[in-house]
Structure 1
């Protein structure tokens, strides 16, 4: 099989998709509009409060890019669009963790290098595992419907929420809300195929809407944690 053929291998793991056509998943595709909408809203809010920095701008840009990548995946539904969907998500996760660690622990150059190296290594490891173990068949017997790949992100968010609560940090309410929203979105993603008989359109579209909201909450948490005069 050539590389081009491999990249165009069809991916069918969602209830809504019944054929390989471009608009076979209209609800899954169009629900990705939530990401650029959230990105625009957060950008306007932060700019009005003087909270836009280079790091924040990149994170907001990744939020919008997640929506584009996911739209491509739920329309083209093949291997290359799967990567267009996956890479922005883990890019956001890795960069957000890095930004949080370096904000809370100071601006030591050595610390930033160590944090960036560890997070990059972990992110690449996750992407590597996904590349060798992802499901492309809707009839496969994965009980989690591929949701297990997001376990590292869930663990990181729960640790962040617990630490914020324990330390009484000002961003705690936003982080706890983000964690609860992510748990709900994971449930909708996991049970998508299970509801096909009773709900043919599936529940995966709620994964998009809730994840967009979750990212918004995390960006708001970052704005609360950082003073308006910061330039980092």
Structure 2
């Protein structure tokens, strides 16, 4: 693999220069802002998995920044791997702390995301116009599935998950429109993918933490 092969896949990039994508690069700061906000909210909470998610949220911003400045294969991996890790940790956290699965079962359920995504992506690639964004489409679908399954256990959590899925669908839409609208909007729309993704991931952490707090209060009042 050529780790230093240049990647030009976004409307804003017109050259291999470091600052060829200034808007796409700078908007990654929103990930860091959301991570900082969530870290302050969680600093006195005993929620280790939530804090791991916050750290990954910050790392996603750094990885995406490196990709939209260096635009090479090695940077692309730093962009996508933290996103995958966030998804996996979030699934594990919900399985363990919301579904109350034993850790080994929660971990096994987490790993099922990989064959699920492998099977789902080719199906989404058949959707006209979805293109390269099809790789992300299984995620909001999975969130909606979890929301439906958890609606009886925690309706507030289910509503929060649905909101997160809708934000992500809107985010994927902007990602898909980037090259399509390039002629009319030279800066592209990929930067909205960053902004909405950062908000969505921060929201998903908040939804998970709020569910933990509600569960703790319920257990305390019930004992």
Taking structure 2 as the reference length, what is the TM-score of the superposition?
Answer: 0.85
1:73 is aligned to 67
Deviation at 1:123, TM superposition (A): 3.7
Whether the aligned pair in 1 keeps the contact of 2:92 and 2:109 (CA below 8 Å) is no
1:59 is aligned to 53
Deviation at 1:153, TM superposition (A): 1.3
Deviation at 1:107, TM superposition (A): 4.8
1:104/1:228 Cα in 2 relative to 1: closer, same or farther (>3 Å)? closer
1:10 is aligned to 6
Deviation at 1:163, TM superposition (A): 2.8
Provide the C-alpha distance between the structure 2 equivalents of 1:166 and 1:105, rounded to a whole number of angstroms.
12
* Higher RCO, 1 vs 2 (CA within 8 Å, ≥6 residues apart): 1
Deviation at 1:54, TM superposition (A): 1.6
1:139 is aligned to none
Q: Which moved more, 1:169-178 or 1:197-206?
A: 169-178
Number of residue pairs the alignment of both structures matches: 209
Deviation at 1:151, TM superposition (A): 2.2
- Which of 100, 103, 118 does residue 106 from structure 1 map onto? 100
2:161 is aligned to 175
1:23/1:66 Cα in 2 relative to 1: closer, same or farther (>3 Å)? same
Structure 2 residue runs without a partner (length 5+): 122-127, 217-223
CA RMSD of aligned residues (A): 2.4
- Which of 20, 35, 42 does residue 16 from structure 2 map onto? 20
Provide the C-alpha distance between the structure 2 equivalents of 1:44 and 1:38, rounded to a whole number of angstroms.
10
Taking structure 1 as the reference length, what is the TM-score of the superposition?
Answer: 0.82
2:91 is aligned to 97
